[in-house]
Amino acid sequence: MKKITTLLTSLLLVSTVFVGCSAKDNSAEGSSDKNKTIKVGATPLPHAEILQEAKKILEKDGYNLEIVEFTDYVTPNTSLSEKEIDANFFQHVPYLEKFNKERNTKLDYTAKIHLEPLGLYSKKLKDISEIKDGAEIAIPNDPTNGARSLKLLQDKSLIKLKDVELATVNDIIENPKQLKIQELEAPQLPRVLQDVDIAVINTNYALEADLSPLKDALAIESKDSPYANILAVREDNKDSEGIKALTKALTSSEIKKFIEDKYKGAIVPSF
């Protein structure tokens, strides 16, 4: 009887050890799977498309890229700051810096990926020379893209601005055609194209509206613009293995070729 009791006790101990090891192994495996998933916020075009290509590259390294689409310029940063996502891909450095300053966030970036030139679009005009006195022009209302838009209008000799870093409509010192400039949310600009003479539209929203920057724009921002789109991250995860892998994928020769072939100059690689 004593031998049977001893045997049962030993079997119970062995079973407990194996169960414990199994639970630990399963937990570690689940943790590993979770760590191999990178959650990135992006606007649909072209950012989500580019990320879909990067996803194929990351899969070879054992990473799962989860793409969360946003249609505005604020939520992706708040979601990143609140750790709902691991990174985002939609903005340029001046916008990120201004967001950090205004929202007291500490977001950073790892690499510049591509440039989306702003364009002047119209359903009513075929050339800039057709712009009449008092014409209505819609531009993005966020500070950085608004300043870019005004700079583009200045480059086309439509207005003249004060020499300031981020110009606003209040910094216009010459407006010979008395242009009426309206500031609207960037996603709305393609929708009001029928109602204004000209709209200055970001490339991502132009593409969503089936507008080709090279074919449809009356004028386009120069390729030496400093407003390249970046992979934004938090300070606390900037050096993580997942973010390093994502950065490497987005700056790979495969992605460069994809951007050049897919967008044919409407979007330009910045690496």
Give yes or no: residues 133 and 209 share one domain.
yes
Q: Could you say which of 186, 202, 220 is where a domain stops?
A: 220
Instruction: Tell me how many domains the chain contains.
Output: 2
Locus of tokens 């009001």:
192
**pLDDT of 93 higher than 90:** yes
The predicted structure's pLDDT at residue 122: 98
Q: Are residues 100 and 131 in the same domain?
A: no
CA of residue 103 relative to chain centroid, distance: 18
Specify the higher pLDDT residue, 193 or 23: 193
Question: What percent of the chain has a predicted confidence (pLDDT) above 70?
Answer: 87
For residue 138, the model assigns a pLDDT of 98
| Domain-embedded: residue 8 | no
92 and 59 in a common domain? yes
The pLDDT of residue 83 is above 80: yes
Shared domain for 213 and 232, answered yes or no, is no
- Asked if residue 5 is part of any domain, the answer here is no
At residue 51, the pLDDT reads: 98
pLDDT at 2: 43
Question: 195 and 128, same structural domain?
Answer: yes
Q: Tell me: the pLDDT tens digits for 137-167? A: 999 999 999 999 999 999 999 999 999 989 9
Query: Has residue 50 got a pLDDT over 90?
Result: yes
What pLDDT is recorded for position 14?
39
Query: With contact defined as beta carbons under 8 Å apart, do 52 and 42 qualify?
Result: no
Q: Is residue 192 part of a domain?
A: yes
Q: Indicate if 99 and 123 belong to the same structural domain.
A: no
- pLDDT for residue 34: 58
> Where does the pLDDT of residue 243 fall: very low under 50, low under 70, confident under 90, or very high at 90 and above?
very high
The answer to whether 211 and 123 are in contact (CB under 8 A) is no
7, part of any domain: no
What mean pLDDT do residues 226-242 have?
Answer: 96
**Are residue 133 and residue 76 in the same domain, yes or no?**
no
Lowest average pLDDT, out of 30-44, 70-84, 129-143, 181-195, goes to: 30-44
The reply to whether 88 and 209 lie within a common domain is no
Buried b (16+ CB within 10 A) or exposed e, 173-203: eeeeeebebeebebbebbeebeebbbbbbbb
In the chain, which ranges are continuous DSSP H helix?
2-35, 49-60, 75-81, 93-103, 143-155, 203-208, 213-216, 241-250, 253-263
In a domain, 28, yes or no: no
Residues 47 and 138 in one domain: no
Report if residue 22 sits inside a domain.
no
| Residue 250 domain-assigned (yes or no) | yes
The residue range of the domain holding 181 is 119-220
> Does 43 have pLDDT greater than 70?
yes
Tens-digit pLDDT profile for residues 107-140? 999 999 999 999 999 999 999 999 999 999 999 9
Same domain, 212 and 162: yes
Together in a domain, 40 and 133: no
239-253 mean pLDDT: 98
- Determine, yes or no, domain membership for 20: no
If one compares 222 and 42, the residue with the highest pLDDT of the two is: 42
pLDDT at 165: 86
pLDDT at residue 202, rounded to an integer: 93
Task: Specify the pLDDT at position 225.
Answer: 84
- Verify that 241 and 214 share a domain, yes or no: no
pLDDT at position 222 is 82
Here the CATH number for the domain that contains residue 85 is 3.40.190.10
Domain boundary among 220, 240, 256: 220
